[in-house]
Structure formats: C-alpha cells, structure tokens
Copies of this chain bind each other. A is one copy, B any other.
Amino acid sequence: MALTIKEAAEQIGLTVHTLRYYEQEGLLKALKRDERGNRLFEPEDLDWLYFIRCLRDTGMPVVQVKHFAELAFKGDHTMRERLQILQDHQRSTERKVEEMKSFLEKITHKTLWYENLVREREQAAEKV
C-alpha cells in the first residue's frame, strides 16, 4: 500500500534526492515513517506529488509551490487564495503554451526552408 522512497520516485518520475529535497523545502506534508524511520509514501502523497510535478513542469518555481502547499496544509479557509493562485497559474500556462506554439511554427517554417534548400542542392548535384 505505502511505497518506499525509491518506489515513489519511480512512480512519479523524480529522483529520491528530489523527493527528499521537496520534503525538506516544505512541499510535502510530514510523511509517515516505518519503525526504522524510513519514509512511507501513501496514495494521497503520490496524488499530491503528481500535482506538484504538474505545477513544476509548467514552470511554477519551487517557492511558489511551497506557498501553495503551506496554504493547503492550513486547511479549508485558504481555499479562495489557492483558487486564485491556480487561476493565475492556469492563465500563465495558457500563455506559455501559445507562445511555445508560435515558436514551434517558426522552427517548423525554418525546417521546411532547410528541407527545400537541401533538396535543391541534391537535384543540382544529380544534373552534374
């Protein structure tokens, strides 16, 4: 049921180092430990980690994730603030996606230009 740090790291796609780092930075709430003091990751910890990965991979800095986490640990009365943060982040991610798409278009355009050029050179070479 509960996973070791290694198993959790594999599940989430982070290293064990990063998981400890996240805990130490306050991104995770106190994890359960087994009798030897080893961390135990329960399903809800994994859900939370998935969500953190989501925020991190869309560019939210660790300190902001930490702030969000602290609000979440404080309880329901912080919900409006958390909603606000999420809405802002959603918008900034939407902008990022649009920006990426427009950069991608430029790269695609350049690639096509290169492909044509290379093709032309090869045809010219054949004629000689």
| A residues lining the B interface (CB < 8 Å) | 51, 54-55, 57-58, 76, 79-80, 82-83, 86-87, 89-90, 93-94, 96-97, 99-101, 103-104, 106-108, 110-111, 114-115, 117-118, 121
Contact B86 A51 (CB under 8 A): no
Copies of this protein in the complex: 2
Interchain CB contact under 8 A, A86 and B100 = no
| Residues of B with C-beta under 8 A to A94 | 104
Main secondary structure of the interface of A (DSSP, over half): helix
**Across the interface, which residues of B come within 8 angstroms of A107, CB to CB?**
54-55, 58, 86, 89-90, 93
Q: Which residues of B contact A54 (CB under 8 A)?
A: 103, 106-107
Q: List 15 A-B contacts (CB under 8 A).
A: A51-B110, A54-B107, A55-B107, A58-B100, A58-B104, A79-B114, A83-B111, A86-B107, A86-B114, A87-B111, A93-B103, A94-B104, A97-B97, A97-B104, A100-B100
